A and B are shown apart, each in its own frame.
Chain A
């Protein structure tokens, strides 16, 4: 093997593999895999309901696996950066489900992906109480407080954007570039992962009125904005 191949293998792949082994050894993957599967259930159902919107979820699932893989390999910040992408694609998919013309323009003209979470909420009252009432009238009885879903979306988006834009406190290798397993960083990632998937599950359950899957409902309840 050439020097460069050997270097790539021994000095990147092998140490990453070591981190992955440590991650597996020291963590219980039951919640991550259970809620990954619940998210794949959502993916499956959306594909069945609307093939076009389902294509966005294909991309979301790909990003989700990449994110989990990054985190298990010690690349915690990259893993969190990908979570913002997942949140954006997910929320956009629910917007486009009800805005087929906009989706058509987006798809056919390769329009700017400017349906940021904040833009959707500010411009379209996305998933505010009055928005939800159009397809789920009983939202008052299950939401934690008025507009709790959109408020949570804003908060979560802000949190993930801070990491994407490199807000100082979100940086994790300030002191040195030492790439190794970190229990605290992995746990922080896990929490962000589950809360991101949770809010997407809330959007799905409310928009599609699907209260039949207990794992999806359990996932949705994690963020605490509704009680299902």
Chain B
């Protein structure tokens, strides 16, 4: 998004921060004054935790820009690293203990971003000035820049090889590496760390801050484990690592301890904190006013409308942009005023789209497949109808209303993945602290996304949000013994990891991890291999891409699967009606689909 000639609202409320250039990130970033930018640039290790679309990338990119602006004074090199393309590495099989392609790619990716950044930050006049001063003083310093520029060139090629070259397995990797020196650096985390420390010394940096984005979501479970072990190995006073993670669904592995190896930095938001609601208002105001001040005036002429929109965001800028998009789609901004009915209808459409997107997650997060299917039913058929009925009764009796429910700790823990995936998708917020539910029982309080409450008439208008309570007496509670919860626990307990006998003629399967050898034939037990996610997603039809029907139908004349689009060069996609702008949109859609 650079100079906007034909102005479109979509250019101002883009879904993903990755689509914004630095100028627009600077312009659109709203500081919540909660010191997060400073934390992201300090010398500690952090896990930046928040649900999808809540603004983690925006924060990280802003931190990177802020460090670049102050680099001349502070000498802090902050580098944003996205692992979106990591899924390509899954195609390379690991057949021996030689180079691990995932670690090679991860370290290579980090290194290339660091080198590109240090090269980019060099002021354009420095070389000329240095030569002139060297002439005046008959003395020249010892610049290492050239050496690092050479590394950057060969690294780029190597990463390309890792991402797209025809490599069957990791044994073939060493033949493809462009230089022995590079192989040594990327050989293992220790040598990589030594190289980084040397770079810090050569450039006399205060420190390097690595901002790892999409570290958890994009990686497979085993990759996540490797990544966090590697993350831990980088800890040093001069190297600070921050990784964006999603609540609940990240696998840290056996060796990484949250709160010990990295502190948690949570992006939290509450619809009951006026400051938090104002924060979302400021985000919208900046963007919408920039596009068209009349739109903002329409949204704010009735406080109820803007407050409801901001509350229904649940602190998620991406979601609130979808609400605004839908208001425009339904011509709400062309009407005399925006009514509550119009808004509620938009919320329903946006929520349905969110549920459809949620279901597609079962294609990516295979481990959560059953939980995803049950989660939708749980919320739509049990929680929401119960809550609506509960509030109807309490409304008539003039009592406090509810926006969530309690769940007994033991029940929560047995189906925790279900709540994890709902929290990840921003349908619910889980309050981590155990609360007393009476009769010696404890549980967690789960808040429902306000947009679901408004669209399903659990809450009827904005003023009711000031009349809610999270006290146990004013809320419903679910226990392990609650029949629907019990049934859910039974269903979901069958979806554990499976181990099967390595003897192809033996059919023994168990979920009991203690069986190292098959009890039937004595052969070794192994975990049931799932097809790599990379392969699964590549095989999906291009109809799954977030593109218009017109574009998809034209693409179908040449491509069938998402993998074909993902691999295609720019000119391969070019055809009538599909030129540069649409090609970029198509490639982004494929990358986003693969990255999730």
Which residues from chain A sit less than 8 Å from chain B, CB to CB? 26-30, 33-34, 36-38, 40, 61, 65, 215
Contact = CB atoms under 8 A, between A and B. Distances in A.
B128 A28 contact: no
B200 to A, nearest CB: 16
Contacts of A26: 73
B207 to A, nearest CB: 14
B123 A27 contact: no
Nearest to B69: A28
Interface centre among B70, B72, B123, B136, by most A CB within 10 Å?
Answer: B72
Contact of B125 (A28, A33, A61): A33
Contact of B72 (A28, A38, A40): A28
B73 A40 contact: no
B577 to A, nearest CB: 40
A37 B73 contact: no
A61 B132 CA distance: 11
Interface in B121-136: 123, 125-126, 128-129, 132, 136
Interface in B117-149: 123, 125-126, 128-129, 132, 136
Contact of A28 (B70, B126, B132, B136): B70
Contacts of B70: 28
A30 B72 contact: yes
Interface residues of B, number: 10
A33 B123 contact: yes
A33 B73 contact: no
B129 A33 contact: yes
A27 B126 contact: no
B136 A37 contact: no
Contacts of A40: 129, 132
Given A33-B129, A37-B132, 7 more contacts: A26-B73, A28-B72, A29-B72, A34-B125, A37-B129, A38-B125, A215-B125
A169 to B, nearest CB: 29
A126 B129 CA distance: 32
B129 A30 contact: no
A94 B128 CA distance: 25
Given A33-B129, A40-B129, A40-B132, A28 B73 contact: yes
A36 B123 CA distance: 13
B72 A37 contact: no
A11 B27 CA distance: 50
Contacts of A61: 136
B123 to A, nearest CB: 6
A61 to B, nearest CB: 8
Nearest to B125: A37
Contacts of A65: 136
A215 B577 CA distance: 43
Interface string B84-97: 00000000000000
Contacts of A28: 70, 72-73
Given A36-B129, A37-B129, A30 B123 contact: yes
Interface string B452-480: 00000000000000000000000000000
B129 A27 contact: no
Contacts of A30: 72, 123
Contact of A34 (B73, B123, B132): B123
23 contacts: A26-B73, A27-B73, A28-B70, A28-B72, A28-B73, A29-B72, A30-B72, A30-B123, A33-B123, A33-B125, A33-B126, A33-B129, A34-B123, A34-B125, A36-B129, A37-B125, A37-B128, A37-B129, A37-B132, A38-B125, A40-B129, A61-B136, A215-B125
Contacts of A33: 123, 125-126, 129
A15 to B, nearest CB: 22
Nearest to A215: B125
Nearest to A31: B72
Contacts of B72: 28-30
Contacts of B132: 37, 40
Nearest to B128: A37
B434 to A, nearest CB: 48
A204 to B, nearest CB: 17
A38 B70 CA distance: 21
Interface in B322-367: none
Contacts of B126: 33
Contacts of B136: 61, 65
A155 B105 CA distance: 61
A37 B123 CA distance: 11
B401 to A, nearest CB: 54
A168 B125 CA distance: 39
Of all A-B residue pairs in the complex, the 8 with the closest CB atoms, nearest first, are A28-B73, A28-B72, A30-B72, A37-B125, A37-B129, A40-B132, A34-B125, A33-B129
A34 B125 CA distance: 6
A135 B125 CA distance: 30
Nearest to B204: A24
Nearest to B136: A65
A39 to B, nearest CB: 10
A26 B125 CA distance: 22
A76 B490 CA distance: 79
**Among the interface residues A26, A40, A61, A215, which one has the most CB atoms of the partner chain B within 10 A?**
A40
Nearest to B70: A28
B174 to A, nearest CB: 43
A27 B132 CA distance: 23
A141 B72 CA distance: 36
A92 B226 CA distance: 69
A26 B136 CA distance: 26
A65 B136 CA distance: 10
Nearest to A36: B129
B204 to A, nearest CB: 10
Contacts of B73: 26-28
Contacts of B123: 30, 33-34
A140 B107 CA distance: 59
Q: Give the most central of A29, A33, A65, A215: most B CB within 10 Å.
A: A33
A33 B125 CA distance: 8
A37 B133 CA distance: 10
A115 to B, nearest CB: 26
Nearest to A65: B136
Interface string B426-446: 000000000000000000000
Interface string B54-70: 00000000000000001
B22 to A, nearest CB: 17
Residue among A26, A34, A65 with the most chain B CB within 10 A?
A34
